[in-house]
Every structure is written in C-alpha cells, then in structure tokens.
Structure 1
Amino acid sequence: MASIAFFSLFLLLLCAHGGAPVLGFTRSDFPPDFVFGAATSAYQYEGAVAEDGRSPSIWDTFTHAGKMADKSTGDVAADGYHKYKDDVKLMADTNLEAYRFSISWSRLIPNGRGAINPRGLEYYNSLIDALVQHGIQVHIMLYHLDYPQILEDEYGGWLSHRIVEDFTAFSDICFREFGDRVSYWTTIDEPNVGAIGSYDSGIIAPGHCSDPFGITKCTIGDSTVEPYIAAHNMLLAHASATRLYREKYQAVQKGVVGLNIYSLWAYPLSNTTLDIEATKRLVDFTFGWVLEPLISGDYPETMKKIVGSRLPTFTRTQSEAVIGSADFIGINHYFSVYVNDRPLDKGVRDYAADLSVSYKTSKNDPPGGKFPPTSYPTDPSGLQLVLLYLKKACGDIPIYIQENGNASSNDTLDDTDRLEYLKSYIEGTLAALRKGANVKGYFTWAFLDVFEFLAGYQSRYGLYRVDFDDEALPRQARLSARWYSAFLKNNGINVQSELNNPGLDAEQ
C-alpha cells in the first residue's frame, strides 16, 4: 500500500517542489477543530533529575558519560520542573491552543514498574491542571526516548520483549491518573529514528552501536540487528497500550491514542531509474517501517527482502494486535533530502548501508555530509507531500504535526529565519489541507530553548530564548513568539512578521 502511494504521488512531487507558496493565510483559514500548539519533552525541559524521588534515566547515564559533543547534560535543562507555572502562564499569553509534552517514566515510576512516586504524580497533575485552567488543550507523549536506567540494566530496555509489559503498566497508570483531563495520547516518539539513533549510530541514549557503523564510540551493541529488534518491540508496546486504553478507558474518557513517526520527504537526486528506486527504498524504510505494520500487520516487502532474517517477524496474534492500533498518526518533520543510489562508504551506520543510498539536504551539498543535519534548507513543499503521502497510504486517518521547527544559528531575539521557516511550514500545512489531507494540528518545536538530544545547548529551536548562562534561566520572547501569538490571537487578520505582542515584552 505504501509503495503504491509513493508512486501515485511522484508526479505531484515533481510539480509541487519549488512551486508557488500559499498566498497569505490567517488562523481562520484553518478548520475550527484544527489546533495550534508547541512542544517540549521531559528530559529536555524538566531538569531536576535527582529531585523528589526521580531515578536516573538512560539519558542521565548517557550524558554523564560525556557522550554529548558539548559534554552537556539535562541535569537542569530549562528547569521546567520548577518553572512550569510561569511557563504555562507564558503559553497562555502566547495564545497557545495546545501543548504537547512527555511524561518522565523515571519521575513517575522510578523503579520502572510498581510503586508510583507521589511527588512525580503531583508534578504532572499540577502541570495538567494549570494547562486546563488556562484553556490549553493537553497532548501527552507517553515515551519520548527516555526510560529508567534500571530497565536498561535489568533486561536491555527495548531490546527485550519484557518492556512491552512494563510499558503497558506505565501507560495504564498515566491513563488512570490523568485521563480525566487528557484526551490526546501518543504512545511512543519516533520508533524509526529512535531505533536508529539508540541502537545503530549510538548518538542517542542508551548509545548502542558496533564497528564500523557507530558515529560515537560505543562499548555495547550490534548495529546490524538491534535497531530492528528495538523498533519491533516499540510497535508491540504501542499496540498493547492502545488495546488497554480502548478496553479500559476510552468509553469513559473519550480520548484517542496515536503513534508518532519521524518523517522527511525524499526527492530523487536525478530522474534516473536507480535514483527513483533508491528514493522509494528510503520511503519504505522511513515510513513503511512503522506504518505498514499498522495497515497490514507486516513490514514492507522491501525491508523483508533487504534485511532478511535480521528483521523480526510478527506472530499472527501480534499482527492482529498491531493492525489498526492507532487512532491518529503524529509526525515530527523538519527537512527534506535528495536521494541517490549509492552504497555508502565504510564507517556509516548500517541502517543506511542496508538501504544502499546516499542522501543530502541540498543538491549542491558535497557527499558524505553529517546526518541528521544541523542546518537545512526550508522546504514546506516537502511537508505538504508527506501529508498527502500519509493520506494515500493510510486513508483518512487524522494527522498531527507534533514537531516542526528550525535550529536557528541566530541566538538573538530577532530570529527572522526561524519566523520565516515557521510561516512557510504553516502555509505548507494549509496547502495540504486544501488538497484533502486530514491534518488536525500543528505543534512547533520548541516552545522554548531546551536541551537538544543531538546537540545539547549548541542548537536552539525555541520561540522563547532561554539564557542558559544565567542561573535564573530567564525566558525572552523572540520575534517568532510574537508573530505566533499575534497569528493565533487575530483570527481573521493576516499578521505581518514585524507585528509585536506587547504582552510578551517582559522578561520572564
């Protein structure tokens, strides 16, 4: 199904790329049930890693081992654990309609299973209550690349099927404790990229990889097998948690449960058959890896043929459980790539070697560039094509853009580049809506500067600048925050980028 969808969109791809953007838009151009928000995640935002009963997570271990390029940690991060009330007030002042955040498994259930940490429970209840009181819709990501270290030590985390039971129990507690105020649940963030970064290249905690594929120096792992095992267990855990919610909570709570995918759009570097086929492979390995099991209960034929016995298989019972196990699809989308058919050189990660492709974010980039990139060209047509692809591949399932943002090199408050990126991708979303994509929401990454998993504090995505050199970690509105606030407030007015919101002037 995914393969057919790709080729049916290929002509559209050729026509849309580089085409004229949507000519102006306002908030009222979007449907009444469309929601605009911003996002963060627990480890990246909260800090307070050793406070109030929280146990170490895999990211605490990873960063304290000096694995980040800047040797940074999330020990303090943006200090959201202490500053959330002021931050929620700032969200309200920004006119945010929704906020997407994640639950720290280590904070809520420090031992990975069993007893709930009362202080952790109190924190999330207070955060949710504050959002509700300010009329901000709550979207929760249950797992955002961050589980208790004790589960890694005990059985290897996502490499063991045992995590399915523990993740389901963790989800059960979240549904039970927060579901009276939360209607939008996403089980797992980016199974596709999480598996690659954590178990192939080693650039994401817990940092598994094997020579010659690791980008970092790893002491444990097998890059040829572990990414596929981890992703398989993530899919089973997602299906298990969704089934639990549907059987135990959905009738009363009326909520929905979805799964998140890291998405990018892929253009063939040339119009040769080899490059077009290479692009199709990348789409199968990016989208199909997660989507095809939800549709057919099995992996794409392309993956099965290339990966062979290293790719886990679903039992009949597992296949039936995974099919249809998402009420919506969430995507994290940042950039597009150009793909050509070329086995990569020794030293790159095995996942890409399986694909036998090379990719870059611009046709003019030299081969062998860093991936994921630290900067990338703006391509809102790519987001539009992803949304239309998902409509073709998955039918009319609702789609939420759960992350989209730009790591501006400009750390001042005058972030014109980030603002233009934000505007253009919202335009791309509207264009996809007008072509029939069932998009229900857009969340920019990030609400404020946070600890970034791939770059620590060297990369800034926030609408609000956080001064990490100041112990008080003050928040200051960037131009992008001012525009987003005015856009959301002035429903039928086309807001220009230079407009300011006086309510955002004060340093928080």
Structure 2
Amino acid sequence: MPHCVDGRGEINPKGLEYYNNLIDELIRHGIEPHVTVYHFDLPQSLQDEYNGVLSPRFIDDYTAYAQACFESFGDRVKHWVTLNEPNVETLTGFDSGMLPPRRCSYPFGDNCTAGDSTREPYLGAHHLLLAHASAVSLYKEKYQATQGGQIGITLLGFWYEPASNSLQDAAAAMRMNDFHIGWFMHPLVYGDYPPVMRSRVGARLPGLTEEQTKKLSGSFDFIGFNHYTVVRTQADERAFDLKLRNYYADAAATIAYSLGDIGEYAPWALGKLLDHLRLTYRNPPLMIHENGLGDTSEISRKFQYDDDNRSKFLQDYLEALYQSIQRGSDARGYFVWSFLDEFEFLSGYRSRYGLCGVDMNAKERTRYMRNSAHWYSGFLNGGELRPPGSAYHDSA
C-alpha cells in the first residue's frame, strides 16, 4: 500500500497510481482483490522518530494510513486485512532480532545494538492490536456501510504438538498454542490476553483499559490464518525459573524439531487448528490466506514442471479443510501460496512456492506453468480433488 514519503503527510502519488492500476487490472480479469494494509513495512522514518510499534504514537499514524487506503481504494476493495502476521513481526523483530528492526537483548538474540527481548515483543504486539482495533473501528463507522466491504486481521497459524507422550510436553504444547494463537485471538474475541499469559508474563504484559477492551472485542469480520505446518514442542521449566525470560521462556517451551524449510508436513494439523478456533474462540469466520509448499529441489535445474509433490500437498490440506468445515468450522476462503515464484522474505529465491515457476536465471524471468497449476485450475473448475488414476487417489 502507498506509504507517505516520510511516514505521514502527503501521500506518494506514484504509490497511489501503482495500486489503483493494479486493483483495476485485477478486477478487469475477474480477480477479487483482498488487500493487506500493513505487512512488516513500517516507514524507516517512524522507526527512527519513535521506535515504531514500540510507541503508542504508531496507533494514530497507522490509522491515518489505513484511512488513506480506505478512501483511495475502498470503492473497489471489499476485503481488508489490517495486519499480516503480527505474531511473527513482534518475535523476529524484538525478541530474536532476526528481522527488522533487529532489536533484542542477550541471551535471547545476537547482533542487536539495542532492545529488550523480555519486554518489547509484548509491547509491540499490544500497540499492533490497538492499531488494528482503531482501523477496524474507523472502517465500520465511516466506510463499511457505503463501501460494503469486510475487514479482519491475518495471523501465522502454526499448530503446536507435544514432542513426546509426557504430560509436561503436552502442557507445553497447550501453552504454546495459547502464546502463539491466543496472544491475538483472545483479545480479539474476549477483550484481554489469555489467562496463562497474564499469569506467566506478569507486569511485562501490558494492561488494557475498559475502553480498549470494548474496542478490541469482536473487532473483525473475519480472521485470516497463514498455515503451513505443525511444530513439535518440549517442556522447558528450567527456562521459566530464570531471572530473565523472553517469550519462549515465559511459555516454558522449546521447539524440539521441525522438518524442511518451514516445518513438518502434517495436513491434520490444519484440522486441529481449525477445531481449536471453533471450540475456543466462538467459531470465527476464517480465511486461509496462505498454504503451500516451498520446494528447493529445482534450483540447480532450468525448469521443473513435474511437481506432483505440490499437488499432493494442496490436495491433502484442502481435504483437511473440507473435513473441518464438515465438523462445523466457519472457514470461508482458501488461498494458495503462491501463484508465482517470488522473493521469499526469509529464504530469498531459494524456496519456490509458485504454481507457476519463474526461471530466475533468465534475463526476462521466464514464467511457466507447473503441473500443479494445471491440476489446481482443473479443480477450481469442477474437477475432482483427487482425479481417478492419480498417484494419490487411492490414499484419499
């Protein structure tokens, strides 16, 4: 979305032109735009001025930015996402310091020149939540009736499972689901942070006023989730006994292992996530905004059309989604990540997620349709989830 040059003031006209053209072109081709307002893209000027999301000043600047988007594009955009993966931005930016603004503190992160891993992730998440609620309130009061759109938020939705059959690991996995999912879902549904976080984080977890609670509760028309994997979890009560604790130490949990670039292939984990949301958070309307397979095998090859592993991945996860809907989940949409190979935030061009491939070695960045693109297109046009005679049909 079009940032102002210095984070506030006059809107960048070239940004407006670009997104107006993009939205119009999508609609011209029968594609309904779903727009994310903010995705880890805070203007550097606001980071320099007041440390970005660590300051409550972020809330007003973000709301003004969202308003500019509603006013400029709301006549055509009917699905708005206020924030993408705030439960990732806060940890990677302010706990481990792995991503911008690279703030952390010893012994929880390295190569950071400033930060406090014990406190800043919670403070940043707090202001992101309040900014979300502010934008939703603005949209519902001023724009929704005339523009006819919907607004929500998108979270990363790992599913945490115990690494063993021990009661300690089972409890750690439950805590991690509360810390990972409940951190944002509990305030959005019930108006406060999860009780387990209140008790274990203590005064480092910001409080909410009565007005803030009222504004947060129900501040969505839908909730988006980006889901890829299950994460195996071990209990680590020794970490909770330390004088200094960060997010994972507060949860007294460690990630035991994960497979591949993003984690363990486990379609059933999507079903568990959706059941958890249905049973714990009043069955909110849901969108799966990202789900897909990142493949690194074709980097040494010029082209790779044969990606039946990706087709199987999508078939398995779509089947899990369908079964969850049959059990009562209010899931209303599904997006494959991604229609096209692109620069991935954490892995550059190494992981290829596209249904359509891109030859990164070609000057023209030649595009080509993989087999998964043909399968998915056929499925969307009425084909079977697992066509008779396919390699995976008998395992359905």
Alignment TM-score, normalising by the size of structure 2: 0.91
Q: Deviations over 1:104-159 (max 9, x none)?
A: xxx43222111111111111011111111111111011111112111111111111
Report the equivalent of 1:220: 114
The alpha-carbon distance between structure 1 residues 496 and 115, as it changes in their structure 2 partners (threshold 3 A), is: farther
Whether 2:307 is the aligned partner of 1:415: answer: yes
3-state SS of the aligned residue for 1:400?
strand
The alpha-carbon distance between structure 1 residues 305 and 443, as it changes in their structure 2 partners (threshold 3 A), is: same
Report the equivalent of 1:239: 133
Amino acid at match of 1:141: T
Report the equivalent of 2:249: 353
The alpha-carbon distance between structure 1 residues 482 and 361, as it changes in their structure 2 partners (threshold 3 A), is: farther
Paired residues of 1:296 and 1:323 also in contact (CA < 8 A): yes
The alpha-carbon distance between structure 1 residues 121 and 344, as it changes in their structure 2 partners (threshold 3 A), is: farther
Paired residues of 1:195 and 1:231 also in contact (CA < 8 A): yes
Whether 2:27 is the aligned partner of 1:140: answer: no
CA–CA distance in structure 1, aligned partners of residues 257 and 287 of structure 2: 24
- 1:431 corresponds, among 323, 327, 351, to 323
Report the equivalent of 2:301: none
CA–CA distance in structure 1, aligned partners of residues 181 and 75 of structure 2: 32
3-state SS of the aligned residue for 2:232?
strand
Whether 2:69 is the aligned partner of 1:164: answer: no
Shift of 1:361: 4.7
The alpha-carbon distance between structure 1 residues 355 and 250, as it changes in their structure 2 partners (threshold 3 A), is: same
Whether 2:271 is the aligned partner of 1:384: answer: yes
Q: Specify which structure has the bigger relative contact order, considering alpha-carbon pairs within 8 angstroms and separated by 6 or more residues.
A: 1
The alpha-carbon distance between structure 1 residues 287 and 398, as it changes in their structure 2 partners (threshold 3 A), is: same
The alpha-carbon distance between structure 1 residues 493 and 166, as it changes in their structure 2 partners (threshold 3 A), is: closer
3-state SS of the aligned residue for 2:66?
helix
Shift of 1:235: 0.2
Amino acid at match of 2:273: V
CA–CA distance in structure 1, aligned partners of residues 5 and 373 of structure 2: 35
Shift of 1:494: 5.2
Report the equivalent of 1:397: 284
Shift of 1:269: 2.5
Report the equivalent of 2:364: 472
Paired residues of 1:401 and 1:442 also in contact (CA < 8 A): yes
Paired residues of 1:200 and 1:209 also in contact (CA < 8 A): yes
3-state SS of the aligned residue for 2:152?
strand
- 1:374 corresponds, among 261, 270, 273, to 261
CA–CA distance in structure 2, aligned partners of residues 409 and 344 of structure 1: 37
Paired residues of 1:201 and 1:349 also in contact (CA < 8 A): no
Report the equivalent of 2:100: 205
Whether 2:196 is the aligned partner of 1:302: answer: yes
Shift of 1:375: 4.5
Report the equivalent of 1:406: 293
Report the equivalent of 1:230: 124
Shift of 1:171: 0.5
CA–CA distance in structure 2, aligned partners of residues 125 and 197 of structure 1: 32
Alignment TM-score, normalising by the size of structure 1: 0.72
CA–CA distance in structure 2, aligned partners of residues 382 and 458 of structure 1: 25
Report the equivalent of 1:65: none
Paired residues of 1:141 and 1:188 also in contact (CA < 8 A): yes
Report the equivalent of 1:275: 169
Shift of 1:419: 2.1
Identity of aligned residues (%): 45
3-state SS of the aligned residue for 1:340?
strand
3-state SS of the aligned residue for 1:445?
coil
**Structure 1 residue runs without a partner (length 5+):** 1-102, 366-372, 500-508
Q: What do you get for the CA RMSD once the two structures are aligned?
A: 2.1
Amino acid at match of 1:352: Y
Paired residues of 1:201 and 1:223 also in contact (CA < 8 A): yes
